[in-house]
Each structure stands twice: as structure tokens, then as C-alpha cells.
Chain A
Amino acid sequence: QQQVKQSPQSLIVQKGGISIINCAYENTAFDYFPWYQQFPGKGPALLIAIRPDVSEKKEGRFTISFNKSAKQFSLHIMDSQPGDSATYFCAASNNAGNMLTFGGGTRLMVKP
């Protein structure tokens, strides 16, 4: 299976701090890189997504940075809040279909 490797597995951040989660992929055919947020007992929900023609995308407190040559992308959560405490998954797919390959997830805890 084409892999997407995610790190760290868990992350503790103080309220107001910056949370950073990293992902690396192998398949150069991937051209869509979303981040999903999952709360306990719920399905994943799309947070933000990027395509490789840009190096950065920002939506509110959430920013994706994308490095095509290194085959890496990361999620930055600015001014982290306790309500951001959840599990975050990176994923990737290509235009041949909408089939997403997910990373292993990062459990984020934001301390008040």
C-alpha cells in the first residue's frame, strides 16, 4: 500500500501555542493533500487541503505548508485552543480517483 507517514503520534501543547504535525509521502503521483480532524465517537471531518501547485495555504488558524521536492507537508495550528484537542490525520490521493491514503494520526491535547 502506498504509505503516508505521520508524526508525532501524540502532541501536548499549551493554550495559545503552535501545534505542528508533519507528514511524508512516497508516491509522486499524489496531487491532493487534505488534513482531517476527528473527535472521539465521530467520523473524520475535512479541515483544510492543498494541491502541489502552491507551497502554503492558510484558513483561519490552520496552515498547510507543502514541500514538493522533499515530499513532505505539515499542518500548523496557530493560537491552539482546548477545543482543538482531537486526532488529526493527513491524507493523500491522486486524480486517478478519490481514494485517500491516510497517515497514522496525531492525538493533540491542548492544555488550558
Chain B
Amino acid sequence: EAGVAQSPRYKIIEKRQSVAFWCNPISGHATLYWYQQILGQGPKLLIQFQNNGVVDDSQLPKDRFSAERLKGVDSTLKIQPAKLEDSAVYLCASSLEEAGSHEQYFGPGTRLTVT
């Protein structure tokens, strides 16, 4: 079974530029998550999708971050404009929709450096 795919793996941009990350979840997984992991910290949930609907985006900085999941499969996370404090690894995860199935499978992440 193929895992969660993310691209690019690394990205370096200057502050005030925009950037987009792409995620392809495990086939058949209805739920998709985006996390931000700052160096030395645990992942922090940004947004959760179930199919192509948003379940929770309470921790997404909506003035600069946006995310979409068209057709309930792939997802993109965008930052515009980027700030220095956005430097982090952005992790995508997916899980089955089945009741009680909490196991989340993580992708390798995209390491973003904002200079």
C-alpha cells in the first residue's frame, strides 16, 4: 500500500512570497489533515477535511493560510504572504472514515524555510 505522498520535500522562499504544498493521501482515506511542526515541537493541527468538506480549521491562520481538497482526494495548502515564523515542516496525514478509526498515517512532510 502506497503511503501519503507530499511535494515538494523542501522549499526556500523569501518573506512576503507565496508557496503551495501538495498532498496525496492513501487511497480510500476520507479524512485528511495538515499539521505544522516547528523545529523541536510536536505537530500542530492546522486543518482537517472529511472528503472535500472542512471539519475543523480553527487553528488555521486564515489571513495568510488557505487549504482546499478538491474531489475529496488530493489537497493543497497555500501560504500567502509568508512570514519568517512560518518556517516549519508541513505534514499531511490521512485516516479512514470508519468509526473509532483514529490511526493517522503521515507523509514525509515539506520543510519550508522563509528567509
B107 in contact with A99 (CB, 8 Å): no
Verify if A43 is at the interface (C-beta below 8 Å from B).
Answer: yes
* Closest Cβ neighbor of A31 among chain B residues: B102
A98 in contact with B95 (CB, 8 Å): yes
B106 in contact with A99 (CB, 8 Å): no
Given contacts A49-B102, A89-B42, contact A97 B56 (CB under 8 A): yes
The A/B interface has a contact count, at CB < 8 Å, of 62
Verify if B44 is at the interface (C-beta below 8 Å from A).
Answer: yes
B41 in contact with A34 (CB, 8 Å): no
A41 in contact with B108 (CB, 8 Å): yes
Contact among A4, A41, A100 for B104, CB-based, below 8 A: A100
Contact among B42, B55, B59, B91 for A103, CB-based, below 8 A: B42
Verify if A54 is at the interface (C-beta below 8 Å from B).
Answer: no
Q: In B95-115, which residues have CB < 8 Å from any A CB?
A: 95, 100-109
Chain B's interface size range is: 20 to 34
Number of interface residues of A (CB under 8 A): 26
Q: In B55-81, which residues have CB < 8 Å from any A CB?
A: 55-56, 59
Interchain CA distance A41-B105 in the complex, whole Å: 15
Residues of B within 8 A of A62 (CB): none
Closest Cβ of chain A to B40, distance in Å, is 7
Residues of A within 8 A of B (CB): 1, 4, 6, 32, 34, 36, 41-46, 49, 89, 91, 93, 95, 97-105
10 tightest A-B contacts by CB? Answer: A43-B106, A102-B42, A44-B106, A32-B102, A89-B42, A102-B43, A98-B102, A105-B42, A43-B107, A104-B42
